[in-house]
Structure 1
């Protein structure tokens, strides 16, 4: 058995000698190209994440949702929260574009490592902000339902069917439903972020480690 292992090792060493060896600059350039491509995808995903939800407002059910917000008196608060969210989202998209332009310039490994760290930090802040925005929206909705004087008025089309339900029970049911859906949405979006951004961040981290080995 030992003789067979020795033969295999010698055979592997012979094959290794015939393999093409990459120089420091070639390896660095490969890592740089991979990193630039990853940051480009981060930028594309963030833009799609900003644009696609806006298309939902064109759907008929969203009109009923807007009417519901107005009836429980939270439309102004949600408008302010939305404006803040848009401004911050545009800021992050600009930061991703900035990171992409920075990392697209081929520099030494040390500077590239710094840019990878900055990009990973920016993505993590974006994820925290996005999930926090969902949570704030849900909290505003729950508070709006809790403070509403006559919650049945928020459903003009269902007013007759809701007459047999006490306002307290209807209010509690709505609060639990909104809270439950909000919790599910935060967990779902967290999972999506983990799959999309998490995969890209892990690839960036791998590139960072490879660059660090080059510097040793």
Structure 2
């Protein structure tokens, strides 16, 4: 179903008599308002995504399940800390970029500049999603390497099972961690592309329409 803007743009292009005719400036203002709204939602979602893990940590049952000694026992705690700091720093940078894009788009009155900002926003979102997914894979990767280099992984995990060969159990656990990393990254990618993909597709439509108007 076409939304109101699509109907009005269709009228502007085909000059239908049964719908109100809009000028170039009026169509531009509607596209500008919708683009500004989309970028604002991208900014809001990035903040929620950043804060959500910290809000979950306030829940005692969730906090109790977090075992930070595992990384230390594997000797990878410094790597995890370094990756976490990097993740925080870059995430804050991207959130600032989304806010900056929103502020820029909110005051634009030039179609070509708006097209440029829409293009840059889409590119920023793409880079942000790729960064987040890469960080998830790196963190899982560091844990997998740490587990592989641990010669006493079964003892490190305090697993007591006399009927299972320690080496077999070790590689079974590594395999489970690898599959879990792939599945979790895939799930996260689906969520990212559902949320951010939906919003960037709206920006893409606005960009295409602006390009037609400027042709």
**What's the TM-score once normalised by structure 1's chain length?**
0.86
Quote how far apart the aligned CAs of 1:182 are: 0.4
Q: How do residues 1-216 of structure 1 correspond to structure 2 at under 5 angstroms?
A: 16-58=16-58, 59-64=62-67, 66-156=68-158, 159=159, 161-216=160-215
As a proportion of its length, which structure holds more helix? 1
Tell me the CA shift for residue 40 of structure 1. 0.5
* Distance in 2 separating the partners of 1:74 and 1:61: 21
What SS does the aligned partner of 2:17 have?
Answer: helix
Q: Per-residue deviation at 1:61?
A: 4.4
Deviation at 1:213, TM superposition (A): 1.4
Could you say what secondary structure the match of 1:194 adopts?
Answer: helix
- Displacement of 1:154 in angstroms is 2.6
Q: How much does 1:169 deviate? A: 1.4
Q: How far apart, CA to CA, are the structure 2 residues paired with 1:210 and 1:73? A: 54
Calculate the aligned-residue CA RMSD, in Å. 1.6
Q: Secondary structure of the equivalent of 1:17?
A: coil
Give SS of 2:66's match: helix
- Tell me how many residue pairs correspond in the alignment: 198
Higher Cα Rg, which structure? 1
Q: TM-score, normalised by structure 2?
A: 0.87
